[in-house]
Amino acid sequence: MIPLHSHSSGRHFLQIPGPTNVPDRVLRAIDNVTIDHRGPEFGVLGKAVLAGMKKVFKTKADVVIYPASGTGAWEAALVNTLSPDDLVLMVETGHFATLWKRMASKLGLKVEFLAGDWRHGIDSAQIGARLKADKDHQIKAVCAVHNETATGVTSNIAALRKAIDSSGHPALLMVDTISSLGSMDYRHDEWGVDVTVAGSQKGLMLPPGLAFNAISAKALAASETAALQRSYWDWKEMLAINPSGYFPYTPATNLLYGLHEALEMLFAEGLDKVFVRHYRFGEATRRAVRAWGLEILCLNPDEYSSALTAVVVPDGHSADAFRKTVLHHFNMSLGQGLSKLSDKVFRIGHLGDLNELTLCGTLAGVEMGLEISGIPHKKGGVQAAMDYLSESSMAALTRAA
């Protein structure tokens, strides 16, 4: 039998931007007896997790849960609301926006893909102007990635909603929150989003395997006339049985146990506190990067991600070789650069179940890795992060006193 891995002392630091570390509490919940998904106990569980996810999405609208990855949630959003040859407006904010666009094309949709440099978020004014020019309302949906996992760049969804409203255009708004939900503030109802897409393996602190759609009344109405083929992803079948806590086909029972526990953890900490924690860790990481003299990929401070930071490696050096060095010496995984950014950046995930000491250990591994790899940098990044974390902790205590 081929061993899956060799032993290394201490725990593995999984600091990619997802899947994230799964808390012991969640692992223990998943390690529960599998129950009858048609029995009364499961109905209680189903109702609880569906209600809990509404709180995380900040919505009173319907939420559906699929046994799938976030890619499935993308497809569900498109096939439930659109028809063949419908025109969809998307923006090239990064690798995952590009993959969603590719999916839309494969499904028989026409996609207008606004070019981007992967270092900025969505230009809401550009979207508004394009919609205003669409006098015949050929564009049926605008699809946006809230937090681009490949780049560490966020887009302002509230501003995007305002631009759509100002244009007077009826297009649906669909938003990918796969790497932001549960780690960054998100407001499905307040921001007027029609379909929100999410996955389990990032801010929700679960393994991969659950996908989510939050669905507005407008999107639900669109699903009545949408003509793209759908069966597994059909909202109608899900929503017909979900009020009783059940699903139209076999759900991921034990992952739902884990989701219930993860939701309990998020609510016990308080969502607002969760978001502040992630902001602090993002800022601490950025201060470390600046102290090292390295470049943050995201160029606009207003668009910095609280979930991850993408770091540009100096010319002549390999980000992938650096990541291999860090893994070999310190048993820590960092995110790789994807497609256009391959071998040019590494990504530090600072989302999910982590605290100050986890983050400081992560940054220490990065700083030691930079030294071993011979990548030009200044020392003191970890100290800069620690200074900020201690100062912000003291400030919080002072405010609370």
Q: Which residues are annotated as a binding site for substrate?
A: 347
Residue 214: CA atoms inside 13 Å, Cβ hemisphere, count? 32
Enter the DSSP assignment of 314. P
Quick one: which of 339, 334, 383, 390 has its CA closest to 362? 334
The single-letter code of the amino acid at 309 is: T
C-alpha distance across the termini of the chain, in Å: 59
Q: How does DSSP assign 316-329, residue by residue?
A: T--HHHHHHHHHHH
d(CA 155, CA 132): 20
- Sheet harboring 308-312: ordered strands across? 13-15, 332-336, 345-349, 308-312, 295-296
Are 152 and 183 in contact by the 8 Å Cβ rule? The answer is: no
Query: What token pair was written down for 339?
Result: 């497609």
Distance CA 18, CA 40 (A): 33
Strands (E) across 149-265 are located at: 153-154, 172-176, 195-199, 210-215
Which pair of tokens denotes residue 334?
């960092």
Query: Would you list which residues are annotated within the binding site?
Result: 347
Sheet of strand 62-67, all strands in order from the earlier edge strand to the far edge: 62-67, 210-215, 195-199, 172-176, 139-145, 87-91, 110-114
Q: Provide the 3-class DSSP secondary structure of residue 18.
A: coil
Q: Is 389 helix (H, G, I), strand (E, B) or coil?
A: helix
